[in-house]
Amino acid sequence: MVTLQGRRHECEVVDERLAAARSGKSSALVIRGDLGIGKSALLGYAMDSAVGFRIARAAGVQSEMELPFAGLHQLCGQMLGRLHRLPGPQRDALSGALGLTAGSAPDRFLVGLAVLSLLHEVAEDRPLLGVVEDAHWLDHASAQVLAFVARRLHAGPVALLFAVRDHSSPARFAGIPELELTGLPDADARMLIAAAIPGRLDEQVRDRIVAEAQGNPLALLELHRGLTSAELAGGFGLTSRQPLSGRIEGCFLRRVEALPADTRRLLVLAAVEPTGDPVLLWSAAERMGLGSEAATPAEAEGLFRVGTQVTFRHPLVRSAVQQAATPEECRSAHRALAEAIDPELSPDRRAWHRAEAAVGPDEEVAGDLERSAGQAHARGGVAAAAAFLERSAALTADPGRRAERRLAAAGAKLRAGAHDAALGLLSLAEVGPLDPLQSARLERLRAEIAFATSRGRDAPPLLIRAAQRLESLDPLLARETHLQALEAAMFAGRLGRGRGVLEAAEAARAAPPAPDPPRTIDLLLDCLATLLTDGWSAGVPLLRRALGAFEEEDELRWLGLAWITAADLWDDDATHCIATREVELAREAGALTILPIALNHLAGIHVHAGEITTAASLIEEAAAITDATGGARISYGALKLAAWRGRADTAALIAACVEDAEARGEGMLITVAEYATAVFENGRANYAAALAAARQASEQGGLVAVRVLPEYVEAAVRAGEPELAAAALARLTEQTQASRTECALGLEARSRALVSDGDAADRLYREAIDRLGRSRAAPQLARAHLLHGEWLRRERRRLEAREQLRIAHDMLVSMGAEAFAARAEHELLATGEHARRRTVETTAELTPQELQIAGLAQGGLSNQGIAARLFISPRTVEYHLHKVFTKLGIASRTQLRQALPPPPGAAPAGGSPGRRRPVGLRAIPGGAALDGSTRPGGFPWNGPASPEGAPDVPAAV
């Protein structure tokens, strides 16, 4: 294979990717560079070099950017014969996205997992090379899916190459290795131009062309075209102040304008038809009275070719053709294509072409676009739905209907993450006329955009006002908006405007009453509003009813907020059930926007139970998903885990989270960071710092902040601030007496023991140990033993102190709570006893991902099941299991049970004598138990994955 002129290094990089694919190692590469710099040539080199490969191609087209999954259909169209071999949820998701089957909107990243599996399935026979040209012009849905796939490639004979404009769409392909193409060196540029311009060429003219081209290969090959030999001889005609891309396009434009009229009309038809389907092209051409002979002049000029696919010499040729065409010529081409397209097979493409052919308002076309928006949304193309609705509004003559469609388009833009565009549409819709309900909906959309962009600062008062306007117009929507306002106020916390959660709660109390029977969100709204305005004793009975409803809830949207309230109640059973339910539903739905949040909630449950290794695995899984999807990492679970681990890097993590929270206006995260600081510093016996953090957090009031009160009491007592400790205990008691769970009463008893003396303190410590032993809160139980042992030592009861401190030390070490374990060891030394050296039982030679995969395999999941769980390919699972077997010295999955540590749920956490799990607890669908049990391997079982759409993102703490 001949190396491209001046591109030896670049060709070697491509060769390495192909060689890796041949050896079974997948990879992706983004080739980035300016127009004409040689991206297409390098892709052509890759395809020529891929001997023995199956090749799949796609190209982004600017006019196709609003059609959902259009690029994906190009790339995978020839592979759909293997679709039946995918797991059912993946097959259904991809079929729905490509419009092959009807159904609810598939999650974008479940579609990505299906494509990942499909590529590996196709590559089973021979290696696969996927080539995507002009990837910056891919439709939004395809770009997200293919970027997801590219980040998850690992094992398997697959190579993906993307060509994108220099510095365009950097976020779309972030995290994928890049190769940047720059201009050719001077010597190579001269050799290329010598090949392009036969015969003698004046040296000064050659120097001028090389200088003007700036090493751009397409410029070197095209800038001289259209110039006479006299101009080439004297260098005239080369000077221009146009940007290089514009000058190259100008060269193509001159060549297009010189073509016969029928040829230009055919080129316009091809330029506005993005799929490159030759059958469709000739069908539309026939309607325009054009025959195949019209293509001959353009093919002779090398500008255009009709083969198995219609292709242009370069995207700039397509651009030049459209620039040379009159508006009527473009409309005529769109009209012919609309007539040629089968309305049953491609209604959205037909509607789009009809819209482009319209001269003015056309209600029939506007209605078609509105219907296409619904179909696009059902396929997961939210951005496409927004574009269809926006164009539909532009073609609507009736002002009222136009305003309604603009409102719908703004809502779709919001769901697609295009916040500025949504605000622009709301400004147009505001021109009206709007009826009162539409006006209230517009205000609600503005508030939702504020919450989506800042996570709090301005959103709560805007949502409250919108909810109040809706009360007389749409009571159910008003109540839902009040709940949104409460959620936004909780997120904003200290960084919000107005009076925060109290203002939102008071407004919610004045809202219309709930319907009969109430919805689960009505129960949640009423209990939160009552709790925040009238206190815990009034709110807890309502809260228990709401949490009971949420344990069976099938709607993901508000489970996160329900989990927060259950955690503030220290209700072990409800928090475990809701978190497990949330993860189960998110997995079943393939809702990868919500699943990381749900995994953080479940990780928090495992931290609460002292199962730190399992919690770390869940946080690792959540981070892998957000990295793959390009989302922001969720910090709440990581903060709690770091606080209880007590490692040296905890302070840096907390500081980074606070900085991020301040930048985004998320005051709730700052409160959780202060809670984490209080736990961390109490573990290190740095009580002054723990007190300062706990005091700051507790001053915020409301929900979330109450969890810091036990830390506040301990830190205040040890820092010599008895008045602060007594005040914190009084606030804690109000909550725990209302809650009356074993965990709440155990924490109250432990905190009350800290401010007590003599027999009363001893009795309270023993009560705390007994109650916490009947809860899931193993770390809190260990700390009760630790505090009791410290108190006994100070009472000079050394033998009794040693017993309590040994239990605490063993529990804390087995959990991996390093700072608290060190504190227990220090206390043991003070009694004259050396602590037994123990380490957390782990398999240190395995990486976190290997340990995670091994645990799931130990639990009985197949490679496909593990792949679906972790959003990787089955081939990648196989690759990692092979490494696990090698490291552990085993040969099969059946040996994993003996080779890996026992699962955290196999025995009472911490091994505390007499510790009991709750009995008689309810079960939830999917086989997940509420008694803290896990499947073998220590990984919570949350049911199989199956497809469904992803709802809005809920709160996460």
Residue pLDDT, tens place only, 880-901 = 888 888 888 888 888 887 777 6
Q: How far, in Å, CA of 509 to CA of 852, rounded? A: 46
Ranges 270-274, 322-326, 764-768, 952-956: which has the least confidence: 952-956
- pLDDT at position 915 is 37
- pLDDT at position 795 is 92
DSSP H helices in 707-777? 709-718, 722-739, 742-754, 758-773
Beta strands in 284-345 (DSSP E): 304-306, 310-312
Q: What are phi and psi of 471, to 5 degrees?
A: -55, -40
Evaluate whether 295 touches 263 at the Cβ level (below 8 Å): yes
Sign of CA dihedral 241, 247, 253, 258: positive
Nearest one of 170, 215, 226 to 189, comparing CA atoms: 215
- pLDDT at position 204 is 65
Q: What are phi and psi of 158, to 5 degrees?
A: -130, 135
Q: How far, in Å, CA of 452 to CA of 454, rounded? A: 6
Provide the token pair at 150. Answer: 């590219």
The number of beta carbons lying within 10 Å of the beta carbon of residue 925 is 12
Nearest one of 103, 173, 175 to 144, comparing CA atoms: 173
Q: Count Cα neighbours of 813 within 13 Å in the Cβ-side half-sphere.
A: 16
Residue pLDDT, tens place only, 532-583 = 888 888 888 888 888 888 877 777 788 888 888 888 888 888 899 888 888 8
**Length of the chain as a residue count:** 957
Average pLDDT over residues 358-375: 86
- pLDDT at position 630 is 57
Average pLDDT over residues 680-695: 95
DSSP H helices in 379-398? 382-394
Evaluate whether 191 touches 210 at the Cβ level (below 8 Å): no
How buried is 585 (Cβ within 10 angstroms: 0-12 exposed, 13-18 middle, 19+ buried)? buried
Q: How far, in Å, CA of 336 to CA of 344, rounded? A: 17
Nearest one of 304, 303, 206, 205 to 254, comparing CA atoms: 303
What separation in angstroms does the CA of 679 have from each of 146, 495, 651, 821, 833?
Answer: 42, 23, 11, 13, 26
Residue 535 backbone zone (phi > 0: left; psi -120 to 50: alpha; other: beta)? left
Sign of CA dihedral 519, 520, 526, 529: negative
3-state secondary structure 842-863: CCCCCCHHHHHHHHHHHCCCCH
- pLDDT at position 212 is 65
Q: How far, in Å, CA of 780 to CA of 608, rounded? A: 8
Q: What are phi and psi of 936, to 5 degrees?
A: -50, 140
- pLDDT at position 228 is 52
Provide the token pair at 341. Answer: 């397209």
Q: How far, in Å, CA of 629 to CA of 145, rounded? A: 9
Q: How far, in Å, CA of 184 to CA of 893, rounded? A: 54
Evaluate whether 413 touches 427 at the Cβ level (below 8 Å): no
Ranges 98-107, 382-391, 751-760, 780-789: which has the least confidence: 98-107
Q: How far, in Å, CA of 50 to CA of 18, rounded? A: 7
- pLDDT at position 787 is 96
Nearest one of 857, 935, 864 to 899, comparing CA atoms: 857
The SS3 call for residue 102 is coil
Q: Which of the four pLDDT bands, split at 50, 70 and 90, describes residue 506? A: very high
Unique residue bearing structure tokens 């040890």: 718
Q: Which of the four pLDDT bands, split at 50, 70 and 90, describes residue 151? A: confident
- pLDDT at position 643 is 94
> What share of the chain has pLDDT > 70, as a percent?
82
> What share of the chain has pLDDT > 90, as a percent?
29
What separation in angstroms does the CA of 129 have from each of 224, 521, 882, 947?
Answer: 35, 49, 25, 28
Q: Mention every residue, 6+ apart, whose C-beta is less than 8 A from residue 432.
A: 399, 400, 403
Q: Which residue has the higher pLDDT, 1 or 524?
A: 524
Q: How far, in Å, CA of 358 to CA of 352, rounded? A: 10
Q: Mention every residue, 6+ apart, whose C-beta is less than 8 A from residue 430.
A: 442
Q: How far, in Å, CA of 344 to CA of 99, rounded? A: 11
Evaluate whether 168 touches 37 at the Cβ level (below 8 Å): no
- pLDDT at position 662 is 84
Identity at 504, one-letter amino acid code: A
Evaluate whether 269 touches 281 at the Cβ level (below 8 Å): yes
Segment holding 28, helix H or strand E: strand 27-33
Q: What are phi and psi of 842, to 5 degrees?
A: -135, 175
- pLDDT at position 944 is 28
Q: How far, in Å, CA of 145 to CA of 143, rounded? A: 6
Residue 664 has pLDDT above 80, yes or no: no
The number of beta carbons lying within 10 Å of the beta carbon of residue 651 is 16
Evaluate whether 117 touches 867 at the Cβ level (below 8 Å): yes
Provide the token pair at 338. Answer: 């609309």
Residue pLDDT, tens place only, 442-467 = 988 888 887 776 665 678 888 898 99
Q: Is the peptide bond before 433 cis (omega within 30 degrees of 0)?
A: yes
Q: Is the peptide bond before 127 cis (omega within 30 degrees of 0)?
A: no
Q: Which of the four pLDDT bands, split at 50, 70 and 90, describes residue 764? A: very high
Residue 626 has pLDDT above 90, yes or no: no
DSSP H helices in 52-107? 70-76, 88-97
- pLDDT at position 129 is 94
Evaluate whether 952 touches 521 at the Cβ level (below 8 Å): no
pTM over 0.85: no
Q: Which of the four pLDDT bands, split at 50, 70 and 90, describes residue 785? A: very high
Number of H-type helices and E-type strands within the chain = 46, 7
The SS3 call for residue 179 is strand
Q: Which residue has the higher pLDDT, 132 or 378?
A: 132
Residue pLDDT, tens place only, 854-881 = 878 887 788 877 877 676 777 778 888 8
Q: Mention every residue, 6+ apart, whose C-beta is less than 8 A from residue 450.
A: 457, 458, 459, 462
Q: How far, in Å, CA of 906 to CA of 936, rounded? A: 8
Q: How far, in Å, CA of 282 to CA of 280, rounded? A: 6
Q: Which residue has the higher pLDDT, 391 or 718?
A: 718
- pLDDT at position 561 is 87
Residue 904 has pLDDT above 70, yes or no: no
Q: How far, in Å, CA of 257 to CA of 839, rounded? A: 78
Beta strands in 45-180 (DSSP E): 54-59, 128-133, 158-165, 178-180
Mean pLDDT for the chain? Answer: 81
Q: Which residue has the higher pLDDT, 925 or 634?
A: 634
Segment holding 311, helix H or strand E: strand 310-312
- pLDDT at position 250 is 75
The helix-helix angle for 436-454 and 419-430 (nearest 10°) equals: 160
Segment holding 253, helix H or strand E: helix 244-257
- pLDDT at position 176 is 86
Q: Which of the four pLDDT bands, split at 50, 70 and 90, describes residue 608? A: very high
